[in-house]
Amino acid sequence: MYNILFRSWFYFRNGWSTYFAFIFGAVNTLVVTYFLAIERYSFLKEVFPTFAHYVVIIVIIGVPILTFVGYIHFKRTAAFQAEAEISLEVNPFLRRMLINTEIMIPLQLKLTDLIIRLSKNEKVTKEEYDEIEKLQKELNDHISVQQTKRKYNILGIEHIKKLQNIDKG
């Protein structure tokens, strides 16, 4: 029950901040700036004779500028990188996925190397066996760490099954 409440709270906050507050804030800004600033100054009133003219001009100019600013934020500044790093630091699920990937890649590379060598009828050396055992130990240690953490820092089996069902579709 508590899970559905937190999920609903999350969806509510996202709906509010992404859609309602954005639209409400944009309309509020347009109304306030027009009726408190533009109507009071005759030279601005000549540029924007009506509220509709003001909205159209601001949208035509503002949307491309704000789109460009968003692009700059994501592609050309360190701001988005900092946000992504913070997300990894504070989100145990993202952090876990990164760690899982970092542990699995060397193991996968070693296994594919061994499969290729065995398919060529080459012998596996003692050092290679030791390396595989070391990778297996790291993987086992990784799994045991996952099982000893607080319940909110790991994906439980019920979460994994839910994700698998979503993937099936």
Coarse DSSP helix, strand, coil percentages of the chain, rounded to the nearest 5 percent: 85, 0, 15
pLDDT surpasses 60 at 146 = no
Kindly indicate the confidence band of residue 139, based on its pLDDT and cuts at 50, 70 and 90: confident
Q: What pLDDT sits at residue 52?
A: 95
Higher pLDDT, 139 or 58: 58
Q: Which of 21-25, 131-135, 142-146, 159-163 has the highest mean pLDDT?
A: 21-25
pLDDT tens figures, 103-123? 788 888 888 888 888 889 988
Task: Return d(Cα 150, Cα 169) in angstroms, integer.
Answer: 30
Task: Return d(Cα 166, Cα 169) in angstroms, integer.
Answer: 5
Task: Return d(Cα 169, Cα 80) in angstroms, integer.
Answer: 32
Task: Return d(Cα 103, Cα 97) in angstroms, integer.
Answer: 10
Q: What is the mean pLDDT of the chain?
A: 83
Kindly indicate the confidence band of residue 70, based on its pLDDT and cuts at 50, 70 and 90: very high
Task: Return d(Cα 98, Cα 87) in angstroms, integer.
Answer: 12
Task: Return d(Cα 118, Cα 110) in angstroms, integer.
Answer: 12
Higher pLDDT, 85 or 62: 62
Q: What pLDDT sits at residue 48?
A: 92
Task: Return d(Cα 31, Cα 25) in angstroms, integer.
Answer: 10
**In this predicted structure, which of 28-37, 38-47, 158-167 has the lowest mean pLDDT?**
158-167
